[in-house]
Amino acid sequence: MSLRIVPVYPELLSIYADRGNVRVLEQRARWRDINVAVSPLPLGADLDPAEADAILIGGGQDRDQALVAEALRQQVPALRSAIADGVPVLAVCGGYQLLGHAYRDQSGRMTPGTGLVDLETVAGPDRLIGNVLVEVEVEGRVERLVGFENHAGRTTLGPDVAPLGRVLAGAGNDAVSGAEGCRVGRVIGTYVHGPLLPKNPWLADLVLGWACEHRGLPVPLQPLDDRLEQVAAEAAARLALDERR
């Protein structure tokens, strides 16, 4: 019985090393002797919600987002079914924007999103670029999320949508609200990449644990030796704080 990880349209939505997120989930499962299969969803194929335990949607350039947006909207019934069944969804940067109702680029062109999450994004006049540090409260504990952001989008969350975390350094959703990302149940959206999961093993294990629970595998997960990952995370946090000063 294999854990099934589904990266969505990786040929177009992997601009920010998003394949690294898939690789981290895969390897952290194997270190725990969990059988795992990675089944990328190519453009033009249909998602089978019964064949996914974790779904990853990466980032892309504006033109690539426009290319995949219509195809992704066709997957909304399957995505809703998977989400309702407890499958975690991790969406990064452009994938995060596509979770929402629409994205308006700097030329004013509107790209309709999936509407899976009540949020909208409008491109600002400049890009928000740099290291980012975010405080996240999840499942009764407080964690630090580190990484890099590079986006023109200013994302506004709906009134019933909680941010993933509070910005300690960096811009986050809009450089104004102090919010970063979104979380609705097991759906997580974020602008943090570089890729995201290698420097945030706690988040990798959160998603992996949800996936194992969906598959009926034992949880909680066996702890791993994350000393190297913690060194990388601490270095990234220092960079973010230094840039803020």
* CA proximity to 199, closest of 223, 174, 232: 232
Q: Please report the pLDDT score of residue 135 as a whole number.
A: 98
Given the residues 101, 151, 182, 193, the one annotated as active site: 193
Q: Would you list the domain boundaries of the chain?
A: 3-244
DSSP summary character for residue 176: S
Which residue type sits at 154?
Answer: R
The architecture of the domain spanning 3-244 is: 3-Layer(aba) Sandwich (3.40)
Is 30 a residue whose pLDDT tops 90? yes
| Residue 82, burial from CB neighbour count under 10 angstroms (0-12, 13-18, 19+) | buried
Compute the distance between CA of residue 153 and CA of residue 150 in angstroms, rounded to an integer.
Answer: 9
Residues whose CB falls within 8 Å of the CB of residue 92, separated by 6 or more in sequence, listed in order: 16, 18, 21, 56, 57, 58, 59, 189, 190, 191, 192, 193, 195, 196
* CA proximity to 58, closest of 73, 72, 37, 78: 72
Gyration radius from the chain CA atoms? 17
DSSP summary character for residue 49: G
93 part of the active site: yes
Instruction: For residue 57, give both structure tokens.
Output: 């949607």
* Among 16-30, 58-72, 81-95, the least confident range: 58-72
Given the residues 93, 151, 182, 214, the one annotated as active site: 93
Determine the distance from the C-alpha atom of residue 132 to the mean position of all C-alpha atoms in its chain, rounded to a whole number.
15
| Residue 109, burial from CB neighbour count under 10 angstroms (0-12, 13-18, 19+) | exposed
* Among 59-73, 134-148, 223-237, the least confident range: 59-73
DSSP summary character for residue 18: T
Residues whose CB falls within 8 Å of the CB of residue 178, separated by 6 or more in sequence, listed in order: 166, 167, 172
Which residue type sits at 214?
Answer: H
pLDDT tens figures, 160-193 = 999 999 999 999 999 999 999 999 999 999 999 9
Q: Please report the pLDDT score of residue 225 as a whole number.
A: 97
Pairing of strands 89-92, 187-190: parallel
182 part of the active site: no
DSSP summary character for residue 225: -
Q: Has this prediction a pTM greater than 0.95?
A: yes
Pairing of strands 187-190, 182-184: antiparallel
Compute the distance between CA of residue 215 and CA of residue 51 in angstroms, rounded to an integer.
Answer: 10
pLDDT tens figures, 50-85 = 999 999 999 987 778 888 999 999 999 999 999 999
Compute the distance between CA of residue 157 and CA of residue 5 in angstroms, rounded to an integer.
Answer: 27
Band (pLDDT 50/70/90 cuts) for residue 220 is: very high
